[in-house]
Amino acid sequence: MSEFEPKIVAFVCNWCTYAGADLAGTSRTKYASNVRIVRFPCTGRIDFMLLMKAFENGADGVIVSGCHPNDCHYTSGNFHARRRWIVFRSLLDFIGFDTDRITFSWVSAAEGNKWASLVNEVTDKMKAKGPFTDLDKLDCSKLKQLHDETITE
């Protein structure tokens, strides 16, 4: 059996982390190919429900990364993201979601190596954890029934 290859979705800002990932490329730093980047203008733009959508549709791990505090291209977007993450994390904790599957990080445009090691770290961690199946275990039949009823009405 081949080794489990986790799917990792990275939500990154355009100005720091996306540029950092580009720098990893220009410096030819090799890292795991499990990651797929979604480019946002700013981490402040990231709607955290998208993270849930990613998990719902087969992601095994998620990275959120933007500019370091005080370095935001838009002054304060990363602070908003950080606050939102703190609140969101406690909500996820409360409902029993495995918050270890989400990694929140800062990677600047100068940190190509940090980006590479971040991706490797998260990939290894998700390999160790195995596929994400928590949502599959949920019994959503009642919810689905409710949903279908609302639609037909």
Partner 1 sequence: MARIGVFICHCGENISATVDVEKVAREAEKLSGVGYAMDYKYMCSDPGQTKIIEAIKEHNLTGIVVGSCSPRMHEATFRKVAEKAGINPYLCEIANIREQVSWVHPKSDATTQKAIDIVRTLVQKVKRDSALFPIKVPVTKTALVVGGGIAGIQAALDIANAGHQVILVEKSPSIGGHMSQLSETFPTLDCSQCILTPRMVEVAQHPNITLHTYAEVESVSGFVGNFDVKVRLKARSVDLSKCTGCGTCWEKCPNKKIPDEFNAGLSFRTAIYTPFPQAVPNKPVIDREHCTWFLKGKCGLCAKNCPTGAINYDTQDEFIDLKVGAIVAATGFDIKHTDFFPEYGYGQFKDVIDGLQFERLASASGPTGGEIRRPSDGEIPEKIVFLACSGSRDKAKGIEYCSKICCMYTAKHAMLYKHKHHEGNAYIFYMDIRSAGKNYDEFVRRAVEEDDVHYIRGRVSRIYEKNGKLIVKGVDTLMNAEPIEIEADMVVLATAVVANQDAESVAQKMHISYDKHHFFAEAHPKLRPVETNTAGIMLAGACQTAKDIPDTVSQASAAASKVIGLFSADEMTREPVIAVVNRMMPPQFTTCTGCLLCMEVCPYHAIEREEIKDRRTGEILKVAAKVNAGLCQGCGTCVAFCRNKSIDLQGFSNQQMLSEVMALLNKPF
Q: What is the Cα–Cα distance from 105 to 12, expressed in whole angstroms? A: 10
Identify whether the C-beta of residue 104 lies closer than 8 Å to the C-beta of residue 65: yes
Phi, psi of 114 (to 5 degrees): -65, -40
Identify whether the C-beta of residue 81 lies closer than 8 Å to the C-beta of residue 64: yes
Q: What is the Cα–Cα distance from 151 to 92, expressed in whole angstroms? A: 28
Q: Is 26 in the site for partner 1 (CB under 8 A)?
A: yes
Q: Taking the CA of residue 117 as centre, how many other CA atoms within 13 Å lie in the half-sphere pointing to its CB?
A: 6
Within residues 100-119, the interface with partner 1 by CB under 8 A covers 116
- Assigned token pair, 40: 């946002």
The count of other CB atoms within 10 Å of the CB of residue 127 is 17
Minimum distance, C-beta of residue 148 to partner 1, in the bound complex (Å): 19
Choice between 70 and 98, CB closer to partner 1:
70
Q: Is 69 in the site for partner 1 (CB under 8 A)?
A: no
- Assigned token pair, 3: 């080794």
Q: Is 36 in the site for partner 1 (CB under 8 A)?
A: yes
Choice between 24 and 126, CB closer to partner 1:
24
Q: Is 31 in the site for partner 1 (CB under 8 A)?
A: yes
Q: Is 7 in the site for partner 1 (CB under 8 A)?
A: yes
Q: Is 82 in the site for partner 1 (CB under 8 A)?
A: no
Choice between 74 and 97, CB closer to partner 1:
74
The neighbouring-strand residues paired with 65 are 12, 105
Q: Which of 42, 64, 102, 126 binds partner 1 (CB under 8 A)?
A: 42
| Residues at the interface with partner 1 (CB under 8 A) | 5, 7, 9, 18-19, 21-22, 24-26, 28-31, 33, 36-42, 44-48, 50, 53-54, 57-59, 73-77, 80-81, 84, 116
